[in-house]
């Protein structure tokens, strides 16, 4: 699949339903604590919510759903929690790959998977292979992902693959080396759990995304909460640097695609 151009170079197509939703699923630990349960209970419930949100997004015509499952900073958590999260990831890959496939969903996993070990890398490869030709929604799981890691690995690949350019790269060339080059940039970014930060998620691609923060903890999120986020998105005016008047004119007669000078 071809890579998409950058929203700072070209105005993307804006639809009623966001083409790409990216979610920081936060609040599992606090949800468990409120119920005097171990943090693991929150993470387990969190996986069930992913299932519900995948279904809801696909039903609404979202083309790409990206969820942040484990950040490059989450290794700082107690070893016991890290190991439990790895175990949950393994279980989810084993149990869900077939189901995703039956539902026509394409699965991709982005992040530096090597530190997770061979079991996870093998399961990921198998699930990606199984679902690669599916034509439904693309579900991306970000695992041991960090926006800075992604930018660095993209720069390194770019320098290696184009030595003759002496570092004179275009945005499109850099974007094409990012881990999610197969997807357009997120239209809607959702973070549950009340914090209002990016936590090293998709740094490059969130340049022009609409942000939606909710206090709802991830294990309490559901299809209705997703609809609230989409409704908020639909009330926004995405200007991409233009004035409101220009946007109104453009909506009546979309201009021909033209790159910025």
- Of all residues in this chain, which one has the CB nearest to ligand IPE in the complex? 29
- Residue 4 or 189: the one with the smaller Cβ distance to Mg ion is 189
As measured in angstroms, the least distance from the Cβ of 159 to ligand IPE is 29
Number of H helices, E strands in the chain: 8, 6
Instruction: Please confirm, yes or no, whether 26 is among the known catalytic residues.
Output: yes
> CA dihedral defined by 248, 251, 252, 256, rounded to 10 degrees?
120
Q: Is 165 helix (H, G, I), strand (E, B) or coil?
A: helix
Q: Is 238 helix (H, G, I), strand (E, B) or coil?
A: coil
Among 26, 63, 96, 185, binds Mg ion (CB under 5 A): 26
Q: Tell me: does residue 27 bind ligand IPE (CB under 6 A).
A: yes
Structure tokens at 62: 């979202």
DSSP state at residue 163:
G
- Which one of Mg ion, ligand IPE, none interacts with residue 199, CB within 5 to 8 A by kind? ligand IPE
Measuring CA to CA, how many Å separate 200 from each of 151, 170, 178?
11, 23, 14
Stretch that binds ligand IPE, among 10-18, 96-104, 177-185, 190-198 (CB under 6 A): 190-198
Structure tokens at 191: 């973070």
- Residue 82 or 181: the one with the smaller Cβ distance to ligand IPE is 82
| C-alpha–C-alpha distance, residues 92 and 69, integer Å | 12
Q: Tell me: does residue 35 bind ligand IPE (CB under 6 A).
A: no
Q: Tell me: does residue 71 bind ligand IPE (CB under 6 A).
A: yes
As measured in angstroms, the least distance from the Cβ of 152 to Mg ion is 24
Among 197, 227, 234, 241, binds ligand IPE (CB under 6 A): 197
DSSP state at residue 45:
H
Backbone angles phi, psi at 117, to 5 degrees: 95, 170
Angle at CA of residue 153, ends 150 and 159, nearest 5°? 135
Q: Which of 28, 74, 144, 166 is catalytic?
A: 74
As measured in angstroms, the least distance from the Cβ of 150 to Mg ion is 20
Among 11, 14, 22, 24, binds ligand IPE (CB under 6 A): 24
Structure tokens at 199: 């936590």
Instruction: Give the footprint of Mg ion on this chain (CB under 5 A).
Output: 26
Contacting positions for ligand IPE (CB under 6 A) = 24-30, 68-71, 73-74, 85, 193, 195, 197, 199
């Amino acid at each position: 699949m071809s890579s998409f151009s950058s929203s700072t170079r070209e105005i993307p197509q804006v639809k009623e339903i966001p083409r790409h939703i990216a979610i920081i699923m936060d609040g599992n630990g606090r949800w468990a604590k409120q119920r005097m349960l171990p943090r693991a209970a929150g993470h387990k419930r969190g996986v069930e919510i992913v299932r519900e949100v995948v279904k809801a997004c696909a039903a609404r015509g979202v083309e790409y759903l990206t969820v942040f499952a484990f950040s490059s900073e989450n290794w700082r958590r107690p070893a016991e929690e890290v190991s439990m999260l790895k175990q949950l990831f393994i279980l989810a890959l084993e149990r869900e790959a077939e189901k995703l496939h039956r539902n026509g969903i394409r699965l991709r996993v982005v992040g530096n998977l090597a530190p997770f070990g061979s079991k996870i890398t093998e399961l990921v490869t198998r699930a990606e292979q199984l679902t690669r030709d599916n034509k439904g929604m693309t579900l991306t799981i970000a695992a041991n992902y960090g926006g800075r890691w992604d930018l660095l690995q993209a720069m390194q690949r770019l320098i290696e693959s184009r030595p003759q350019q002496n570092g004179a790269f275009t945005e499109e060339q850099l974007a094409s080396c990012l881990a999610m080059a197969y997807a357009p940039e997120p239209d809607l970014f959702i973070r549950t759990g009340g914090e209002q930060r990016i936590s090293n998620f998709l740094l490059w691609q969130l340049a022009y995304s609409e942000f939606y923060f909710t206090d709802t903890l991830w294990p309490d999120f559901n299809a209705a909460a997703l609809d609230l986020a989409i409704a908020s998105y639909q009330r926004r005016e995405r200007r991409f640097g233009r004035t409101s008047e220009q946007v109104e004119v453009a909506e009546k007669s979309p201009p021909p695609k033209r790159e910025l000078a």
